[in-house]
Structure 1
Amino acid sequence: MIIDLPDTSTSAINKRLTKLRENSGIPMIGRVLTLIVITDAVAGSEAAIRSANDASREHPCRVIVVIRGERATPNRLDAQIRVGGDAGASEVIVLRTHGGLTTQAAALVTPLLLPDTPVAAWWPRNSPVDIAASKIGKLALRRITDSDAEGHPSDALAKRAAGYTPGDTDLTWARITPWRALLTTLLDQRPHEEITAATVCGPENAGSTDLAGGWLASRLGIDVRRAVGRPMVALERASGSIVIEQIDSHTVEVRITGQEPTRAPIPGRSVADCLAEDLRRMDSDEIFAEALRGLDRVIDTAASVR
């Protein structure tokens, strides 16, 4: 069900939500959090809403989407309420702001927050420099960005590192979870030797590859070489190398010196998958923070690996 509320107010939206619950029996109980989504482009908002809806099947929530329109227009708030099949396991409130209201997102969403539940905020792109210091960021325990969706992912990650505050995270971190899990499993096996060199390889504009390098640098205490090419991680130790190379979108090949090559599944991760993972915790992620600090030890070789 989709209900349009043109030229409205937050008070009118709340009244309509109350009426919906009374008339349709739509419960607020069971919503575990409020997810605020901040986006600039109407064209990209539906993709963000779909991802939030999919993530809500694991985390039933109220999703408040703020779409910032043109600043140089009269003040106006248009809203839309989506429930039932159009909202996944959540209820979605879409706020389209115009004029001076484009800078008032925090004031607009505050009356719509679910009581006594945590708040998470997600910027699909064009996030502020310091997300924790932003007005929306101050409302949220969990603040989520997506450096891979920015024009310059490496610069976006550097921005995240410079302004990191506990509770910040980035979807690039969730994207490399399967790689981190596989690497950890391999390094838990004998021989337990010191890693003396490491290389990460991926597309030139892939923040997830950079962050994988930062994670390895922080865990291993060494500089990590960053190359361009097919996704791959190579680790060197006294007895030889460990190489994980992506063969296709769902498979990697594992090559360990002295052993026959094997293959392992590495499923592709959608935005919704990554968002759902990041909503599983509201506390700070110290390993992510260390990975951001490790970016200083990722050496861009400007080389291509094929």
Structure 2
Amino acid sequence: MIVDLPDTTTSNISKALVKIREEGGAVALGRVLTLIIATHLGQEEEAIEAANDASREHPMRVIVVSTEEERSPSSGQHSGSGRLDAQIRVGGDAGASEVIVLRAYGETASDQEGLVTGLLLPDAPVVVWWPGIAPAKASTSPLGRIATIRITDASAQPNPQEALFHLAETYAPGDTDFAWTRLTLWRAQLAAVLDQPPYEPITAVDVAGAADSPSTLLLAAWLRLQLQVPVKYDLASRAIGSGGIHGVRMERATGTIELEREVPNIARLSQPGQPTHDLSLPRRSLRDCLAEELRRLDPDDLYGEVITKGLGMLETSDEGAGATA
């Protein structure tokens, strides 16, 4: 069910939610968090779809704050005193959540915190997700100030590699990024390999990926931090794979361990003395990344170390690799 509320207020939206619950009982109960999605007008639906899918695992209230990318005097009435159009989605149109879409224009859009404050679930964690362009500093932004967890996506920024270093400079506990979440399957597979005999130390690592893959750089930083060995990263030097991370090579005394994804979704693992294996290693969807981040509502300390320390270790110890970014 979808209820449109043109030219409305936060108070009217709250009243409409109560009315929907009383009349139809369609609004999900037992919600565990409030997810705020901050995006631009016309770019809401992909993020809402991912949130609806994730809500089957995490029942929640989703508040979408959608504003104009640019406001100027020539943009008409919407850039004047302001206007708020809202839409409430429940039942089959909202997964296991309830979705409140706030389309704000003009001066109304300048107070994002004020728009959502009256709609937050009481005594529930608040997660803010910027699926597109992120604020200069997430933790001190109007929505970031009220959030427990703040999710950005470096791959959606104009320069993904630059965005990672900016995240390192502005990091605060509670920040996380989908470039890190997309590494989960790679990190699990590499850890499993190193947990098998022979238990020899790794002496050098090479990581390769697409030029627009910030996850490649984060994987190199994680390996540098965890293994304390030289790590080189190579972005887009080989025409393999369709994007994302292409592969990892780890050297040790008995030979080379290679985990390479030359075709979409499938990676090939080869190591000395063992047969070659094909493994399922797909690029993760928005739904998968969002659902994973919502499983933990406390700061990700490992991400904090990788982004603030691991990247810096790459810069100082692997100067040649840094030139490829």
The match for 2:176 is 169
| Of 219, 222, 233, the match for 1:215 | 222
| 1:200 and 2:207 are equivalent in the alignment | yes
Q: CA deviation at 1:47?
A: 0.8
Residue identity in the other structure for 2:34? T
What CA distance in whole angstroms lies between the structure 2 residues aligned with 1:301 and 1:212?
14
Q: CA deviation at 1:140?
A: 0.7
What CA distance in whole angstroms lies between the structure 2 residues aligned with 1:28 and 1:266?
34
Q: CA deviation at 1:17?
A: 0.3
Spell out, residue by residue over 1:51-110, the C-alpha distance to the aligned partner (whole angstroms, 9 max, x if none).
111111111100000011253312101111111111111100000111112221111100
What is the number of equivalent residue pairs in this alignment? 303
| 1:43 and 2:77 are equivalent in the alignment | no
Q: Give the 5 Å matches for 1:136-285.
A: 136-227=143-234, 228=236, 229=238, 230=240, 231-285=246-300
Q: CA deviation at 1:173?
A: 1.2
| 1:297 and 2:313 are equivalent in the alignment | yes
Residue identity in the other structure for 2:297? M
What CA distance in whole angstroms lies between the structure 2 residues aligned with 1:118 and 1:204?
36
Task: Give the TM-score taking structure 1 as reference length.
Answer: 0.95
| Of 127, 130, 133, the match for 1:123 | 130
Question: What secondary structure is seen at the aligned counterpart in 2 of 1:112?
Answer: coil
Spell out, residue by residue over 1:119-150, the C-alpha distance to the aligned partner (whole angstroms, 9 max, x if none).
10000021112111112111111110111111
What CA distance in whole angstroms lies between the structure 2 residues aligned with 1:303 and 1:256?
27
Q: CA deviation at 1:268?
A: 2.9
Spell out, residue by residue over 1:220-242, the C-alpha distance to the aligned partner (whole angstroms, 9 max, x if none).
11332111233000111111111
Question: What secondary structure is seen at the aligned counterpart in 2 of 1:29?
Answer: coil
2:200·2:253 contact (CA, 8 Å) conserved in 1?
Answer: yes
What CA distance in whole angstroms lies between the structure 2 residues aligned with 1:245 and 1:164?
31
1:83·1:90 contact (CA, 8 Å) conserved in 2?
Answer: yes
Structure 1 unpaired stretches of 5+: none
Residue identity in the other structure for 1:80? Q
What CA distance in whole angstroms lies between the structure 1 residues aligned with 2:56 and 2:177?
20
* Over 6 Å off, 4+ runs: none
What CA distance in whole angstroms lies between the structure 1 residues aligned with 2:114 and 2:228?
44
What CA distance in whole angstroms lies between the structure 2 residues aligned with 1:301 and 1:294?
13
What CA distance in whole angstroms lies between the structure 2 residues aligned with 1:222 and 1:78?
54
Q: CA deviation at 1:28?
A: 4.8
| 1:133 and 2:135 are equivalent in the alignment | no
What CA distance in whole angstroms lies between the structure 2 residues aligned with 1:84 and 1:256?
50
What CA distance in whole angstroms lies between the structure 2 residues aligned with 1:291 and 1:155?
16
1:215·1:291 contact (CA, 8 Å) conserved in 2?
Answer: yes
Task: Give the TM-score taking structure 2 as reference length.
Answer: 0.90
Q: Give the 5 Å matches for 1:62-77.
A: 62-69=61-68, 70-72=70-72, 73-74=79-80, 75-77=82-84
Taking only the aligned residue pairs, the percentage that are identical comes to 49
Query: What's the RMSD between the two structures over aligned residues?
Result: 1.5
Spell out, residue by residue over 1:252-273, the C-alpha distance to the aligned partner (whole angstroms, 9 max, x if none).
1111123221111113310111
Q: CA deviation at 1:302?
A: 5.5
What CA distance in whole angstroms lies between the structure 2 residues aligned with 1:121 and 1:91?
16
1:216·1:291 contact (CA, 8 Å) conserved in 2?
Answer: no
| Of 93, 101, 107, the match for 2:100 | 93
Residue identity in the other structure for 1:56? S
Q: CA deviation at 1:153?
A: 0.8
Structure 2 unpaired stretches of 5+: 73-78, 241-245
Spell out, residue by residue over 1:195-243, the C-alpha distance to the aligned partner (whole angstroms, 9 max, x if none).
1111110101101111111111111113321112330001111111111
What CA distance in whole angstroms lies between the structure 1 residues aligned with 2:292 and 2:145?
22
1:224·1:297 contact (CA, 8 Å) conserved in 2?
Answer: no
